[in-house]
Chains A and B, each alone.
Chain A
Amino acid sequence: MRFTKDHEWVELDGDVATIGITAYAAEQLGDVVFVETPDVGKTLKAGDQLAVVESVKAASDVYAPVSGEVVAANGELADSPDTVNAAPEAAGWFAKVKVANPAEVDALMDRPAYEAFLATL
């Protein structure tokens, strides 16, 4: 699993990347009440808005850590947005993206580097 400074995680399997937000982000946001996931088929560049996570009092943008085409969105989140709080780095994934360039994932932080980054915040 790789991480971004904006608290997204990426898990690459072949050329499909599963993306979500980290446990740190989920905790900071508080209770998640709604997730606006991207449409399947949408093409994204790294840094584009991928999704929006809503808590009661705020809406936070989630950015695509890598470029590619959205091939799946997590439909479970519509009925159970609390999954993002319960299992942010597993069942609480937002979208799967077919990456144009798998090397983009390697350029991201690994877990020790992300945790070191968190310590600086």
Chain B
Amino acid sequence: MSIVNVGRPTRPDSVLAESHASLTGGRGLLQDEPLLFELGGWDKTGVDLDAPAEDAADLGDLVRAGPIGLAGLSEPEAVRHYVRLSQKNHAIDLALYPLGSCTMKHNPRLNEKLARLAGFADLHPLQPQSTTQGALELMDRLAHWLKTLTGMPAVALSPKAGAHGELCGLLAIKAAHEAAGHGARRRVLVPTSAHGTNPATAAFVGYSVTEIAQTPDGRVDIADLAAKLAPDVAAIMVTNPNTCGLFERDIIEIARLTHEAGAYFYCDGANFNAIVGRVRPGDLGVDAMHINLHKTFSTPHGGGGPGAGPVVLSAALAPFAPAPWVVHGEAGLHLVEEAIEEAGQAFGRMCAFHGQMGMFVRAYAYMRSHGADGLRQVAEDAVLNANYIKARLSDVMSPAFPDGPCMHEALFDDTWLEGTGVTTLDFAKAMIDEGFHPMTMYFPLVVHGAMLIEPTETESKRELDRFCEALRALAAAAKAGDAERFKGAPYLAPMRRLDETLAARKPKLTWRPEPDAPSAAA
């Protein structure tokens, strides 16, 4: 025969399979990436622009004299810079992201495509309204879905985030009380388990906050609520399902007592995913509820925003909704931007323009894709998935409220870690090495070492099992005394644990050039 030997081995030599550090610090696909300003492009730009036909001599010394201090990159360098950075982020698209109360569900790509249609994206908020009828129609249809799903007669679309929606709801409540001559009502009741935005918003609006106690089974203490509902209470702020992942069984009674005392019921809608399509907050006696479109209705979290927080309102509060809103006129749809005679009770504007239209398109596409039947299934699968995780972990971790089912999220405390030397924080950091983003930690505050797990409905059983197996293995390791695994975790992430004390003691919030380094002034 004639031997053709290309001279290269085609399987790994097992002797050389041990790990080995690189010479220059690289780690395979993961690249180290300096700051934009250290890439040094003071005179670089990645865009080609026409030269201006006229100069700015007409502006005299209104013109900036010195350098701004920006750095530029050519397009290939910019792409590389940001792609390298992107690789250091965990994301929903990579794995189950169990953040309780955040609803990290899949972000459908159809929504991204539709939001980018020129007829939506390239539309100015102040164009003549006759040229934006399709946009107004979409807002109107979205409003219809939100009202139908919640059983509420009105919705304010403009708030830009959940906390902004809370502010809107409380301002409407405040305006309603003032209009009725009850401006002396200056207190808001909030459960001890509430999300921090609730008391922060109440204080922002000028209310003082009184806490309502919790029962041992994780619900609002009705007796304590009744005792605290005095004539100076303007509203209660309750999350339902609550931040412990439990449905408030006595919610109708809570609403009744509140209304009897002359106060309004604000509902934090962060956990709407548990009941969408199955329960209408309007039927529970809610007066105002913000809906996080970036939670229940899948608009992307984007590394921290943008969100959208439209607020559904009862008939009593509807007159106090902020501008703008869409009405049906003879000439088509009309956006009312100013409180006029009939609507004179609107408390003002929450922000410029009309709200997060980009998020409206995405949320509406999501709703239309799921439909009434799909949305009901969303709630059912979300609750099923959370209960499955609870069932699969309850023998090795300690559920905070073991009796009865949870809703869309399962809450554990750190009792099961006692004696191991491992804290909730350590456990969470070790999850990173297993490939998962940690669950929500230390919230709600009412549970010690809280671990709040919300899988959402877009997780397959396979991914749920993968997650449970990882946590079971970690739990076993913790109990077996393998504390080092946890104390030093994460070991395998792009970065080890970071010194947050240093960041707070010596805040360094912008890049500054070294004293004698070249800058744009050169």
Contacts and interface: CB of A to CB of B under 8 A. Distances in A.
A81 to B, nearest CB: 6
Contacts of B505: 31, 33-34, 81-82
Nearest to A56: B500
B448 to A, nearest CB: 15
Interface string B491-521: 0000000001101110000000000000000
Interface range on chain B (Cβ under 8 Å from partner): under 10
A102 B503 CA distance: 41
A81 B507 CA distance: 13
A81 B504 CA distance: 10
A94 B500 CA distance: 23
B161 to A, nearest CB: 23
Interface residues of A, number: 8
Interface string A9-46: 00000000000000000000001011000000000000
A84 to B, nearest CB: 11
A34 B503 CA distance: 11
B429 to A, nearest CB: 15
A33 B500 CA distance: 10
A34 B505 CA distance: 7
A15 to B, nearest CB: 34
A114 to B, nearest CB: 26
A76 to B, nearest CB: 13
Interface string A43-60: 000000000001011000
Contacts of B500: 56-57
B140 to A, nearest CB: 44
A56 B506 CA distance: 12
A81 B503 CA distance: 13
Nearest to A30: B501
B458 to A, nearest CB: 31
Contacts of A34: 504-505
Nearest to B500: A56
A57 B443 CA distance: 12
B491 to A, nearest CB: 22
A82 B500 CA distance: 14
A82 B506 CA distance: 11
Nearest to A54: B504
A11 B459 CA distance: 60
Interface string A80-112: 011000000000000000000000000000000
Contacts of A57: 500
Interface of B: 500-501, 503-505
Interface pairs A-B: 6 shortest CB-CB: A33-B504, A31-B501, A56-B500, A33-B505, A56-B504, A56-B501
Given A33-B505, A56-B500, A81-B505, 12 more contacts: A31-B501, A31-B505, A33-B501, A33-B504, A34-B504, A34-B505, A54-B504, A56-B501, A56-B503, A56-B504, A57-B500, A82-B505
11 contacts: A31-B501, A31-B505, A33-B501, A33-B504, A34-B505, A56-B500, A56-B501, A56-B503, A56-B504, A81-B505, A82-B505
